[in-house]
Structure 1
Amino acid sequence: MDHTPVRNAVKGPEAAFTGDVYVTPLKAATEPSRLISALVRFTPGARTHWHSHALGQTLHVTEGVGLVVTRDGDVARVRAGDTVWCPPGEEHWHGGTEGTVLCHIAMVETPGDGDGTTWLEPVTDDQYTAAHQQ
């Protein structure tokens, strides 16, 4: 057994997030495991930039209401207890709604080097607003 005490939350970098987002690491990829997980907290209106994952990503919502949106326009409105799987290579973003926080556990497997995430451009305000209307 390996017991890890609570880690400090860090503010998500502007290169990957719009708005105030806080990330608390839960698990690092320690061999033989390749799993990385973190608790991610989005304030209302905060969101990731467009991104994809080499081996996919699982999101498990722990609190609040939010959106997970794919590049082809699919919008999932998620709430506590929901789990979303984003397949390998699928460009997507996720975050809080205009009036609610979103907290989720994000889980990815590393492909070997880094965490396999490819960060892309920010989600525009127009894209964010349009997702709320679907």
Structure 2
Amino acid sequence: MQKDSVVKNNVFPIGDKNVAYDQFFTGQSYLKGLVAPADDINVGVGNVTFEPKCRNNWHIHHDGCQILLVTAGKGIYQELGKAAQLLKPGDVVVTHDGVKHWHGATKDSWFTHIAITAGKPEWLSPVSDEKYAKANSQIKE
């Protein structure tokens, strides 16, 4: 899926290059904040777009959870010790408190999801090229 179709077919804007979290991603991602955590709201909502091959590091959400609403392209989600899952528009993923996981674009598609995040993430090591390639080979279209 080309960038043009991801941007044109998405309800929310792609946002700017994700420099704030760049250290926790392999490849280029874009972020458009939709709701920022505040004193009276303990949840953040963002539109995250990944270029092909882009993925975030392994991470864990503490004192909360994360919900991903897939809006465009094809992506991968994987929890530690489980097989990788193909993500496509309309899919919803709920990651519970304390679950080590990662997510990102497939090797040949742009990918966008709305991330609804409560609590604090603990960022861990990058997903190696080897593990990423294995995840791409595991997913069924």
TM bracket, shorter-chain basis:
0.7 to 0.9
Matched, 1:47 2:47: no
Aligned match for 1:89, one of 86, 98, 104: 98
TM-score, normalised to structure 1, is 0.86
The answer (yes or no) to whether the contact 1:64–1:103 under 8 Å persists in 2 is yes
Match of 2:27 in 1: 19
Give the superposition deviation at 1:65.
Answer: 0.6
Shift of residue 107 of structure 1? 0.8
Question: Which residue of the partner structure matches residue 17 of structure 2?
Answer: 10
After superposition, give the CA deviation of every residue in 1:12-64 in whole Å (9 maximum; x if it has no partner): 43320000111111101123221101100000000001101011210000100
The residue aligned with 2:89 is 80
The alignment's C-alpha RMSD in Å is 1.6
* Partner Cα distance (2:112, 2:132) in 1: 18
Counterpart of 1:10, as a letter, is K
In structure 2, list runs of 5 or more residues that go unmatched: 1-12
Question: 2:17 & 2:35 partners in 1: Cα distance?
Answer: 15
Match of 1:3 in 2: none
Give the whole-Å Cα distance in 2 for the aligned partners of 1:26 and 1:74: 31
Moved over 6 A (4+): none
Q: Is the 8 A contact 2:69 2:90 kept in 1?
A: yes
Report sequence identity in percent: 31
Deviations 1:69-112 (A, max 9, x none): 111133211101111001111111100001001100011113xx
Match of 1:64 among 73, 76, 100: 73
Q: Within the alignment, does 1:127 sit opposite 2:131 as a pair?
A: yes
